[in-house]
Structure 1
Amino acid sequence: MPQVKGPRFTEEIDNKIIELMKIYGNIPNYYVKISEEINKQFNSNYTSKKIRQRWISTLDPKFHHKPLNEDEKSFIIQWVENNKTPDDPKIHWKILISEIEKKFGKLRSENMVKNFWNLRNRKSGNKQHKNINYDKNKKDIVSPPLPPLHPLEDNISTNAKLLEILKKDFFFLMFE
């Protein structure tokens, strides 16, 4: 299902959001108030949800927006492998982000960390949600190897099965 994009943010609108966060950032429902002000001033239709997402993913000065370095990437991988168990296979992103901030002194957005993790798994092809096994002693995730792709005609069914697995993983990651 395609995402509804809505109007694009401009530098002028971004600056206004930053200004209004300084004014309204401590009142209840401040994203609603800011969206009302922005929509009135710029004759637009930004939702409070869009304003919030823009703030936490791009504008909030508390967040470190430069790409993750290799140490941070290694830390994320190790943390997930050590904290994901068969009893609780969910990744607790907020806890991970807090740990990253403690260790590296940089606050990262949840979106940035999730994007790194999901892209890494998509690239490595090691994430098969239904076939993940856990070594209970080590807390390591052990995924079965994927069959190799062969362009030969007699392996079309193998390639089709693999394609179906990858489609399911991609669909799952989109809504994770």
Structure 2
Amino acid sequence: MPLFDDTSKNIILNFKIQHGYDSNDYVGISRLIPPFTPKQIRHFWTNILDPRLNHSCLDKEEEDYTVTWIENRVLNGPINWGELINDIQQRFGKLRPKNKIKNFWYSRLRRHQNDQYSYYHS
């Protein structure tokens, strides 16, 4: 994926300001910056550029909430990350990037799997 330069970032921000932050017209934005696909623009917006995003580290309460939330739903099929993000925002007042939550969960999962492997193979 090519890197977004300052001009591309400004085009995306201005479009979102004009059409609303919750606008999902990534096809329209991609027409303004042709090297990028709508999917690349959406990913960049929802994980990096959206000014409402809180990029700081998750605090202990958010981590605990995420673990409990996922463990209570994991048997019902795939994790609905969008629903979890909305629940975290409502509960803690922080809009988190989807990748931050997913990275926390999967790194925690790997850490626990490695701990179990070490326990049984030591």
* Structure-2-length-normalised TM-score: 0.81
1:89-121 deviation per Cα after TM superposition (whole angstroms, max 9, x unaligned) = 432222222221121111112222111101111
Residue 48 of structure 2 is matched in structure 1 by 58
Distance in 2 of aligned mates of 1:109 and 1:122: 20
Distance of aligned partners of 1:92 and 1:29 in 2 relative to their CA distance in 1, 3 Å threshold: closer
* Structure-1-length-normalised TM-score: 0.59
In the alignment of these two chains, the number of paired residues is 119
Is 2:61 the counterpart of 1:71? yes
Once the two structures are aligned, what percentage of the paired residues are identical?
36
Distance in 1 of aligned mates of 2:24 and 2:82: 22
What is the deviation of 1:29?
A: 6.5
Map 1:71-90 → 2, pairs under 5 A: 71-85=61-75, 88-90=76-78
Residue 93 of structure 2 is matched in structure 1 by 105
Is 2:29 the counterpart of 1:34? yes
Structure 2: any 5+ residue segments left out of the alignment? Answer: none
By relative contact order (CA 8 Å, sep 6+), the higher-ranking structure is 2
- The structure in which a higher percent of residues are helix is 2
CA RMSD of aligned residues (A): 2.4
Map 1:128-167 → 2, pairs under 5 A: 145-146=116-117, 147-149=120-122
Residue 16 of structure 2 is matched in structure 1 by 21
Distance in 2 of aligned mates of 1:29 and 1:77: 29
Distance in 2 of aligned mates of 1:90 and 1:57: 20
Structure 1: any 5+ residue segments left out of the alignment? Answer: 1-5, 40-44, 127-144, 150-176
Distance of aligned partners of 1:24 and 1:104 in 2 relative to their CA distance in 1, 3 Å threshold: closer
